[in-house]
Structure 1
Amino acid sequence: MTIINESKRLNVTGVILAGGKSSRMGMNKALLPIHGNETIQRLRNELLILTDRLIIVTNETESYKFLKQPLIHDNYENKGPLAGIQAGLAASNTEWNFITACDMPFLTYQVVEVLLTRAGKLPYKQVIVPQIGKKKQPLSALYHTSSLPFITDCLMKNKLKVSEVLTGLDYEIITEQDFLKAGLNAGTVERNFFNMNSREDYERVKRYVNKNYR
């Protein structure tokens, strides 16, 4: 799977959620350096392989101007990641949108490619969501803009848990086996959905990167 030139770029918007207080980490996870690049910069670079449509959702725009990408605010303040999803979908001009949290240091464009391939083979769906083991990954999933009204309604009703909102949408699950069949190996799949929640997680990421990306 190699999408590296303009003729193969896909009609999808990448949306990186750069909000959150990072209370467990004690610092801004998005800006943690890993092998010379901030975590969010690594994500940006990976998604730009796939598409030139990229949005950063943040209420701290000064911190992310260096990314040279469109920066937008939440439309509903202090409503958590669901507000970021809503803002990204509202600002997008494509039907499909890959939405991801900013603390996914190993995420690769191949994951998005697998999700988009499945979306193209299915009847109407609003979300294509990975499930690794028993855990769904709604913060690294493909959202159709048709999900926007329902998500907005949930925000207005203060129903904010993304996993619960997902159950009200017409969604399709992509399993680990689906990724393996698409050509990703098990280690790559596991790393793709690793997110850094603590300083211990960050140290693990640094050790892995320093060992494998010299």
Structure 2
Amino acid sequence: MKEKQMDNTLAGYILAGGKNTRMGGRKKLFLKYRGKQFYLWLKNGLKAAGALYVSVEEYAPYEGLDAVLVKDIYKGTGPIGGICTGLKLCQEDALLVVPCDMVPVPDRLLKDLMEIYRRTGRPVCPSAGDRLLPLPAVYSKEMLPAAEELIAEGNCRLCGWWERSLAGCEILPLEHTTVNNVNTKEDYKRLEGQ
């Protein structure tokens, strides 16, 4: 199949809808790295994607952000529910999805994901060998039916969503890119010490 430049639209999407229990309830989007909030690092990394959305469980305390807030409509389903909500409510054809705790931002990876999507018009998922890495990735509205089936089945794994959608997707093999996530207080202490 010959690749061609596509007109499909893309937006940036930050997943911030969790309870942050491993961080003692601290909202990760407001944590700081090198004096700047995670939100600002992620916003800068996603600026080439176009519009910016933030997936939240509740609007508070995110009302002051200069992004469109998207309140989850699939309660208790984790990231898959937040992404589905964004795909249903956004005007764009696809979302470049990043977790709120992915700092430092892998700028080259985000640029590669956007470039592949804009060239092919297909969802894009990074991989390390035969292991899919579903965040960050480009999710499209065409993937919604598979996600809704999985949610109905009680299977809310992002990798399961990609496995069900693979026929219509692009895979970006990673060799040397490191993606860091701040999952715990200890992770944050390590990051602060860098």
- Mark the CA change 1:120 to 1:88 in structure 2 (over 3 Å): closer, same or farther: same
Matches within 5 A, 1:75-114: 75-114=73-112
Distance in 2 separating the partners of 1:151 and 1:202: 31
Distance in 1 separating the partners of 2:153 and 2:130: 28
Say whether residues 1:201 and 2:187 are aligned partners. Answer: yes
Distance in 2 separating the partners of 1:206 and 1:67: 23
What does residue 54 of structure 2 align with?
56
Choose between structure 1 and 2: higher helix proportion.
1
The answer to whether the 8 A contact 1:41-1:67 is kept is no
What displacement does 1:20 show?
A: 1.4
SS in 2 for 1:63: coil
Instruction: Write the deviation string for residues 38-75 of structure 1: whole angstroms up to 9, x where unpaired.
Output: 21232123212x13311111022121122121111111
Instruction: Write the deviation string for residues 71-126 of structure 1: whole angstroms up to 9, x where unpaired.
Output: 1111111111110110111122222310111110112443222113223454x74x
What displacement does 1:133 show?
A: 5.4
Matches within 5 A, 1:1-214: 11-26=9-24, 27-48=26-47, 50-122=48-120, 125=122, 127-132=123-128, 135-170=131-166, 171-177=169-175, 186=176, 189-190=177-178, 193-208=179-194
State how many pairs are aligned: 184
Distance in 2 separating the partners of 1:94 and 1:137: 23
What does residue 182 of structure 1 align with?
none
SS in 2 for 1:55: strand
Identity between Structure 1 and Structure 2 (%):
27
Distance in 2 separating the partners of 1:13 and 1:120: 12
RMSD: 2.1
Distance in 1 separating the partners of 2:129 and 2:103: 20
Distance in 2 separating the partners of 1:42 and 1:116: 17
The answer to whether the 8 A contact 1:129-1:140 is kept is yes
The letter for the 2-side match of 1:202 is: Y
The answer to whether the 8 A contact 2:20-2:28 is kept is yes
Distance in 1 separating the partners of 2:129 and 2:20: 25
What displacement does 1:167 show?
A: 0.7
What does residue 3 of structure 1 align with?
none
SS in 1 for 2:21: coil
Please list every run of 5 or more consecutive structure 1 residues that lacks an aligned counterpart in the other structure.
1-9, 178-185, 209-214
Please list every run of 5 or more consecutive structure 2 residues that lacks an aligned counterpart in the other structure.
1-7
TM-score (norm 1): 0.77
Distance in 2 separating the partners of 1:201 and 1:113: 26
Instruction: Write the deviation string for residues 157-176 of structure 1: whole angstroms up to 9, x where unpaired.
Output: 32211111211002332112
What does residue 3 of structure 2 align with?
none
- Mark the CA change 1:63 to 1:163 in structure 2 (over 3 Å): closer, same or farther: same
